[in-house]
Amino acid sequence: MAHSEASPMEGSNRILEEYHINEVVGFALPHPLEELPPAFEGWIRIAKSLPELIDNGQLREEVDQLPTLSIDELKGHRLQRLAHLALGCITMAYVWNQRRDDDVKEVLPRNIAVPYRQLSDKLGLPPILSYADCVLANWKKKDPNGNMDVLFTFPGGDCGRGFFLVSLLVEIAASSAIQAVPTVCSAVQHQDQKALEKAFEAIAESLNNARTYFQRMQNFVDPNQFFNVLRIYLSGWKNNPKLPNGLLYEGVSDTPEMFAGGSAGQSSIFQCLDILLGIKHSSGKGSPAEFLQEMREYMPPAHRNFLRSLESGPSVREFVMSRGNEDVRNAYNNCVQGLVSLRKFHLEIVRTYIVKPSSNQQHGGENRGTGGTNLMEFLKSVMKATENAIL
């Protein structure tokens, strides 16, 4: 690990800041901006009006009329994240438009493809809408008492707002677990059983709290709107029969390129806890481990590096198994159980929001998730691997 990068083993919150992890919102972007400089008003205007423009058939025409803008004026991480999010939403709307299989765009025009790729390269993010865009940076405080709202959404009524905000609330609730990660690493390094037990207790409590937010999904998101509308706009162009060669980014490359659709496999919280607790997912070609590893490439680089540095440290699980006292082992198991409960509840949500609505479809339900995975198999495997980690 590069000497300039602090390792979580040094056990200070300074480390988390260095990896762009915020003590209140965790991996989410703190205080996202909502406005771009005046020259970019067209991007914001269109991104803010996707449902209306798509429904009245004007979206693609509006996008085609945008000027090709230089991104030089977009200084700073937050401005670039807002622009990347706006262009990501516009790109999904432009490609999928009114969700007709015979009306999918295979070429993204240069006036958005060129700045979109430049911003993606600057941020180290993929040129497709990702979890880091749509969940982590797509929010604002609506009023002084902390109610939140999304910046952009898609057709499907309140479905997108609910899906993105509930995911964000789970991320924020689980962020206190991430705050305990340097303490766990330091306690293992110093073989401090009491400190380790306390840090595990904080993680377990955080996961139980996060689960209560998960339950809000049913109140805000309609399963049929999710399955038949929103899910289409989050689909990507890797192994997608609707775009078998991928998407051509005009003015950027001569051949079409493939990028996976949005997935919460791109959530750093869950991958971070899997690493910390030593939860190993099944590996091999087309395996959950391979999919989750690939999804790291869609995360902000700082978060990807945090996961790497965590992976390079001593095994917490080994320490608990070989030297942990009974209290430490129980506290460790409560953390694993917290992740199992979240993943079991998530499986119920997926049955309600994907499996059931897809069985109502005439073609017997394509068993694919937003990330294009054979989802139930993948999710059950991930949940079982978590359960198997209980000592």
Ligand X SMILES: Brc1ccc(-c2csc3nccn23)cc1
Which residues bind to ligand HEM, rule: CB under 6 A?
163, 166-167, 170-171, 214, 217, 221, 226, 263-265, 267, 270, 343, 346, 349-350, 353-354, 369-371, 373, 375, 378-379, 382
Residue type, position 161, single letter: R
DSSP state for residue 257 in the 8-state scheme? B
Residue from the set 93, 165, 234, 277 that interacts with ligand X by CB under 6 A: 234
User: Among ligand HEM, ligand X, none, what does residue 130 contact (CB within 5–8 Å per kind)?
Assistant: ligand X
Counting contacts by CB under 6 A, is residue 89 touching ligand X?
no
Taking alpha carbons only, the member of 180, 211, 130, 161 closest to residue 21 is 180
Q: Which stretch binds ligand X (CB under 6 A): 44-52, 215-223, 256-264, 278-286?
A: 256-264
Which residues make up each annotated binding site for heme b?
346
Beta-carbon contacts of 209 under 8 Å, excluding residues fewer than 6 positions away, are 173, 174, 176
Which residues make up each annotated binding site?
346
Could you tell me the smallest distance in angstroms from the CB atom of residue 168 to ligand HEM?
A: 8
Between CA 370 and CA 234 the distance in angstroms is 6
Between CA 43 and CA 62 the distance in angstroms is 10
Name residues contacting ligand X, limited to 342-371 (CB under 6 A).
Answer: 370
Residue from the set 174, 264, 273, 354 that interacts with ligand X by CB under 6 A: 264
Angle, helices 316-323/268-277, rounded to nearest 10 degrees? 30
Q: Could you tell me how many residues make up the chain?
A: 391
User: Among ligand HEM, ligand X, none, what does residue 234 contact (CB within 5–8 Å per kind)?
Assistant: ligand X
Between CA 382 and CA 35 the distance in angstroms is 39
Between CA 242 and CA 265 the distance in angstroms is 22
Q: Which residue is nearest to ligand X (CB)?
A: 262
Task: At 219, list the tokens.
Answer: 């109140």
Counting contacts by CB under 6 A, is residue 69 touching ligand X?
no
Q: Which residue is nearest to ligand HEM (CB)?
A: 369
Residues 292, 265 contacting (CB under 8 angstroms): yes
Counting contacts by CB under 6 A, is residue 385 touching ligand X?
no
Could you tell me the smallest distance in angstroms from the CB atom of residue 144 to ligand HEM?
A: 26
Q: What are the DSSP calls for 76-141, one per residue?
A: SHHHHHHHHHHHHHHHHHHHHTT--GGG---EE-HHHHHHHHHHHHHHT--SS--HHHHTTSS-EE
Site string for ligand X, 127-166 (x = CB under 6 A): --xxx--xx-------------------------------
User: Among ligand HEM, ligand X, none, what does residue 131 contact (CB within 5–8 Å per kind)?
Assistant: ligand X
By the 10 Å C-beta count (0-12 exposed, 13-18 middle, 19+ buried), 250 is classed as middle
CA R_g for the chain: 21
Counting contacts by CB under 6 A, is residue 263 touching ligand X?
yes
Could you tell me the smallest distance in angstroms from the CB atom of residue 288 to ligand HEM?
A: 8
Task: At 64, list the tokens.
Answer: 């085609």
Could you tell me the smallest distance in angstroms from the CB atom of residue 325 to ligand X?
A: 37
User: Among ligand X, ligand HEM, none, what does residue 349 contact (CB within 5–8 Å per kind)?
Assistant: ligand HEM
Would you put residue 155 in left (φ > 0), alpha (ψ -120 to 50) or beta?
beta
Residue from the set 80, 97, 118, 167 that interacts with ligand X by CB under 6 A: 167
User: Among ligand X, ligand HEM, none, what does residue 186 contact (CB within 5–8 Å per kind)?
Assistant: none
Q: Which stretch binds ligand X (CB under 6 A): 64-72, 215-223, 258-266, 358-366?
A: 258-266
Diameter over CA atoms, the chain: 66
Nearer to ligand HEM, 83 or 135 (CB): 135
Could you tell me the smallest distance in angstroms from the CB atom of residue 320 to ligand X?
A: 29
Q: Note the residues at the interface with ligand X (CB under 6 A).
A: 129-131, 134-135, 167, 234, 262-264, 370
